[in-house]
């Protein structure tokens, strides 16, 4: 679809996920005389040809694409840019935290996953480069909070919104009230926050900051375009607060391990999903520890217990 903001064109490119991840990604092509992409999805042939097709149709070819800004360094968001850079020399922007890590996937795995040693190597080979099509690359434009990116005479402000990941940025156009929210604000689905890179308290702070902006429309990286920004930002905030309350409620029965809490909170019988949910529960427990509501009891050769304070 094409949306018009003043005389700026915003084209949403829905890129399907490979295999059975079921994580479709919205890539946005923005501009008029010159163009940028916000996020770039996967680096696979099928995703790249879809993106290039749209660039050819609406932006007059890849030579008019001056930059790809990735909202963050998760594997469903940046790999496409590494291929566009390799093939066509398109410069890449990403938050300065992630910039050096995209040139060194060994370091990337240390920061973004709990995998180590052989498991980390398998993640890079089979998942990051294999299934998602990422290539190690040097970042041309490391960005930080307050930076401005100019597109066809419009100034877009970079807003650092850590929480979903430490490197997450949103892109805001104040005159038109447009926000590209990446994974920070989603509608009809929950923003993933798990260890090691997720931080529930930082996420809540980021939503508070976004709430203060004058926004008329949000373009998220997954799911539908958001025409009721304030309500949905608040809904996203309430979801996390109510999950924290659920955990406190479950701990009223006595100290519990992460695994016990996962079994009580999530119905899934698939053990792999339960491992992922473990990192989510862990992120909530860390937040509750910081808030002084929960204490961790380490045990020798056994998983820690968490109890209410
Ligand atoms: Zn993400
Ligand atoms: Zn995502």
List the CATH number of the domain containing 276.
1.10.10
Point out the ligand nearest to the CA of residue 223: 2
For residues 109 and 145, state if they share a domain.
yes
Query: Which of 217, 238, 259 represents a domain boundary (last residue)?
Result: 238
Task: State in Å: Cα 252 to ligand 2 middle.
Answer: 34
Looking up tokens 């009230």 gives 177
Task: State in Å: Cα 99 to ligand 1 middle.
Answer: 16
Task: State in Å: Cα 108 to ligand 1 middle.
Answer: 14
Q: What is the predicted pLDDT for the residue at 1?
A: 44
For residues 152 and 251, state if they share a domain.
no
Q: Is the dihedral of CA 112, 48, 140, 2 positive or negative?
A: negative
Q: Is 221:73 a contact under the CB 8 Å cutoff? A: no
Task: State in Å: Cα 219 to ligand 1 middle.
Answer: 15
Point out the ligand nearest to the CA of residue 72: 1
For residues 283 and 165, state if they share a domain.
no
Query: Which of 179, 208, 238 represents a domain boundary (last residue)?
Result: 238
Domain that holds residue 261: 247-308
Residues 158, 162, 168: CA angle, nearest 5 degrees? 55
Mean of pLDDT over the chain: 94
What distance in Å separates the CA atoms of residue 67 and residue 37, rounded to the nearest whole number? Answer: 7
What distance in Å separates the CA atoms of residue 164 and residue 293, rounded to the nearest whole number? Answer: 22
* Count of Cβ atoms closer than 10 Å to residue 284 Cβ: 25
What distance in Å separates the CA atoms of residue 52 and residue 59, rounded to the nearest whole number? Answer: 10
Task: State in Å: Cα 164 to ligand 1 middle.
Answer: 6
Q: What is the predicted pLDDT for the residue at 19?
A: 72
For residues 87 and 225, state if they share a domain.
yes
What distance in Å separates the CA atoms of residue 165 and residue 198, rounded to the nearest whole number? Answer: 5
For residues 212 and 259, state if they share a domain.
no
CATH number at residue 56: 3.60.15.10
Point out the ligand nearest to the CA of residue 192: 1
Per-residue confidence at 275, pLDDT binned at 50, 70, 90? Answer: confident
Task: State in Å: Cα 181 to ligand 1 middle.
Answer: 11
Query: Tell me: the pLDDT tens digits for 119-171?
Result: 999 999 999 999 999 999 999 999 999 999 999 999 999 999 999 999 999 99
For residues 162 and 277, state if they share a domain.
no
Token duo for residue 210? 């976004």
Q: What is the predicted pLDDT for the residue at 274?
A: 75
User: At a CB cut-off of 8 Å and minimum separation 6, what does 225 contact?
Assistant: 3, 12, 217, 218, 219
Which residues are near ligand 1, the ion (C-beta closer than 5 Å)?
74, 183
Point out the ligand nearest to the CA of residue 77: 2
For residues 190 and 270, state if they share a domain.
no
For residues 174 and 223, state if they share a domain.
yes
Q: Is 128 left (phi over 0), alpha (psi -120 to 50) or beta?
A: alpha
For residues 126 and 26, state if they share a domain.
yes
Task: State in Å: Cα 152 to ligand 2 middle.
Answer: 27
- Regarding beta strands 8-15 and 25-31, do their DSSP bridges make them parallel or antiparallel, or are they unpaired? antiparallel
Q: What is the predicted pLDDT for the residue at 143?
A: 98
Point out the ligand nearest to the CA of residue 167: 1
177, pLDDT greater than 50: yes
What distance in Å separates the CA atoms of residue 20 and residue 108, rounded to the nearest whole number? Answer: 24
Query: Which of 238, 268, 297 represents a domain boundary (last residue)?
Result: 238
Task: State in Å: Cα 297 to ligand 1 middle.
Answer: 31
What distance in Å separates the CA atoms of residue 188 and residue 218, rounded to the nearest whole number? Answer: 14
For residues 191 and 296, state if they share a domain.
no
Query: Tell me: the pLDDT tens digits for 276-301?
Result: 899 999 999 999 999 999 999 999 99
Looking at the structure of the chain, the number of domains it has is 2
What distance in Å separates the CA atoms of residue 71 and residue 245, rounded to the nearest whole number? Answer: 30
Query: Tell me: the pLDDT tens digits for 209-243?
Result: 999 999 999 999 999 999 999 999 999 999 999 99
For residues 112 and 56, state if they share a domain.
yes
Q: Is 87:132 a contact under the CB 8 Å cutoff? A: no
What distance in Å separates the CA atoms of residue 287 and residue 79, rounded to the nearest whole number? Answer: 31
For residues 80 and 194, state if they share a domain.
yes
């Amino acid at each position: 679809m094409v949306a018009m903001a003043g005389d700026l064109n915003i084209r949403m490119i829905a890129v399907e996920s490979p295999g059975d991840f079921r994580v479709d990604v919205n890539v946005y092509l923005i501009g008029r005389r010159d163009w940028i992409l916000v996020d770039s999805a996967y680096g696979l042939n099928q995703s790249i040809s879809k993106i290039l097709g749209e660039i050819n149709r609406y932006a007059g070819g890849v030579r008019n694409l001056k930059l790809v800004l990735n909202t963050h360094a998760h594997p469903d968001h940046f790999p496409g840019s590494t291929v566009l850079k390799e093939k066509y020399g398109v410069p890449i922007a990403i938050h300065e935290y992630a910039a050096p890590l995209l040139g060194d996937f060994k370091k990337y795995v240390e920061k973004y996953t709990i995998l180590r040693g052989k498991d980390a190597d398998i993640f890079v080979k089979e998942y990051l480069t294999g299934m998602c099509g990422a290539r190690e690359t040097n970042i041309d434009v490391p960005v930080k909070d307050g930076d401005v990116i100019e597109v066809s005479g419009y100034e877009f402000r970079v807003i650092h919104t850590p929480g979903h990941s430490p490197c997450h940025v949103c892109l805001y156009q104040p005159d038109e009230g447009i926000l590209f929210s990446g994974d920070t604000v989603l509608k009809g689905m929950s923003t993933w926050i798990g260890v090691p890179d997720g931080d529930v308290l930082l996420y809540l702070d980021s939503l508070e900051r976004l709430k203060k902006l004058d926004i008329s429309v949000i373009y998220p990286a997954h799911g539908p375009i958001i025409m009721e920004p304030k309500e949905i930002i608040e809904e996203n905030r309430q979801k996390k607060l109510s999950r924290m309350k659920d955990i406190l409620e479950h701990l009223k029965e006595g100290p519990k391990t992460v695994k016990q809490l996962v079994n009580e909170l999530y119905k899934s019988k698939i053990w792999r999903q339960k491992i992922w949910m473990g990192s989510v529960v862990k992120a909530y427990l860390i937040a509750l520890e910081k808030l002084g509501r929960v204490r961790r009891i380490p045990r020798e050769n056994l998983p820690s217990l968490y109890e209410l304070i």
